Amino acid sequence: MLKKPKDFLQSLPTNEFVYLCLNNLENRIIVNKTELEETFDSFSDYNVLIIGDVMVDAYVWGKVDRISPEAPVPIVSCVNRESRLGGAANVALNIKSMGANPILCSVIGNDEKGEEFLNLLNDIQEEQSGIIVSNHRRTTVKTRFISDNQHIIRVDEEDTHELADEIEAEFIHHIKNLIDKHEIHAVIFEDYDKGVITKKLIDKITKFANDNNIPILVDPKKRHYSDYKNVALFKPNFKEFVEGSNLNLEKGNIEGLFSEAKKFQNKMNINKLLITLSELGVFISNEDTFEHIPAVVREIADVSGAGDTVISVATLCLTAGLNAKEIAAISNLAGGIVCEIPVVVPIKKEQLLKESIKLFAKV
């Protein structure tokens, strides 16, 4: 006998990490297998412009077998090091991994880590035409220390001040030129709150994209939360939504969430509001209707980068014309899949299609 979602959640061991993805028969979306395969095939036709803060994700793997005599902290014996593309660059990796063509736009520092970032782009044969190098900021680096698949500590090196006026103007002009040069099917604002995205940039590029009938999707942070107006899809997590909207709302109050979502969408002229609810699944609102998609247990190794995957897959699903429930379910599934790996990795198109067919397609 199937348990109700609430009973199921309460029955979980308290020490079990969970990420929820759709597998509840009452809420299951049903799609045609052939049409789903054709939708995934169509992703290769799309050019997606990604604007946001990029970074180098550095990893140090090691062993912890003793505590430091100098302070009550673990000693990590380094075994291996690796650097990967992070931030908005991880969104570009997800877009590329799904078969579409990403065009990444950002500003990095004229420094050693900036050079490393460009080398990482070159390694995956990703074009660098959207990247501007500045002498007035550092390239962001996040270094994670991992032992036995456990994330021990993270060290951040970064500047978070906003772009100087001259660089901001150059960056806006550069983005507009790229939109004119390429046939762009969607624009993503991937905001990590490091200063690359400014209010003026949001206003100018949003108007330019809307004038050219290009849908805009947003993964926001707090600083510019209320500046993203007139967009196709807005994707905060629950914490970002309640803090950004100054709400006192329980995460499980879905009806209350819908009421506040409608107000926010009307105020901001947002077509779709996609809110990730971690252990409670995802919520998506079209203003007039909403869907709350529950989920089942996935074993979690690392939640880093899951939001990048969700916005990437949601963008391609929206561009392909899927409805709100399909967008939410498939992108939520994608976010759950990448959480099973203890580093930031892009979603694999073949795996997502296979699991989507298994969960969502007609038998």
Query: For 322-346, how does the pLDDT look when each residue is reduced to its tens digit (9 = 90+)?
Result: 999 999 999 988 888 876 655 556 7
Percent of the chain past pLDDT 70, that is, above it, reads: 86
Residue 2 has pLDDT above 50, yes or no: no
| pLDDT value, residue 15 | 32
Question: Rounded distance, CA 13 to CA 27, Å?
Answer: 24
Residue 108 has pLDDT above 80, yes or no: yes
| pLDDT value, residue 287 | 77
Say if CB 38 and CB 317 are below 8 A apart: no
Rg (CA), the chain: 20
Please state at what angle helix 349-360 crosses helix 33-42, rounded to 10 degrees: 160
Q: Closest Cα to residue 194, out of 144, 245, 142, 151? A: 142
Q: Closest Cα to residue 131, out of 145, 117, 111? A: 117
Residue 303 confidence class, pLDDT cut points 50, 70, 90: low
58-106: pLDDT as tens digits:
999 999 999 999 999 999 999 999 999 999 999 999 999 999 999 999 9
Give me 133's structure tokens. Answer: 């190098």
Question: Rounded distance, CA 61 to CA 29, Å?
Answer: 40
| pLDDT value, residue 16 | 34
Sorted by where each starts, the structural domains of the chain and their CATH numbers stand as 29-55+86-136+159-360 (3.40.1190.20)
Backbone region of residue 305 per phi and psi (left: phi > 0; alpha: psi in -120 to 50; beta: other values): left
27-49: pLDDT as tens digits:
456 678 999 999 999 999 999 99
Q: Closest Cα to residue 8, out of 325, 343, 297? A: 297
234-290: pLDDT as tens digits:
999 999 999 999 998 998 899 999 999 999 999 999 999 999 988 788 999 997 899
Say if CB 24 and CB 282 are below 8 A apart: no
Distance of CA 218 to the CA centre of its chain: 9
The residues annotated with a catalytic role in the active site are 308
Q: Which amino acid is at 79?
A: V
Q: Closest Cα to residue 244, out of 224, 266, 273, 222? A: 222
Q: What is the pTM of this model?
A: 0.87
| pLDDT value, residue 136 | 92
Question: Rounded distance, CA 321 to CA 35, Å?
Answer: 12
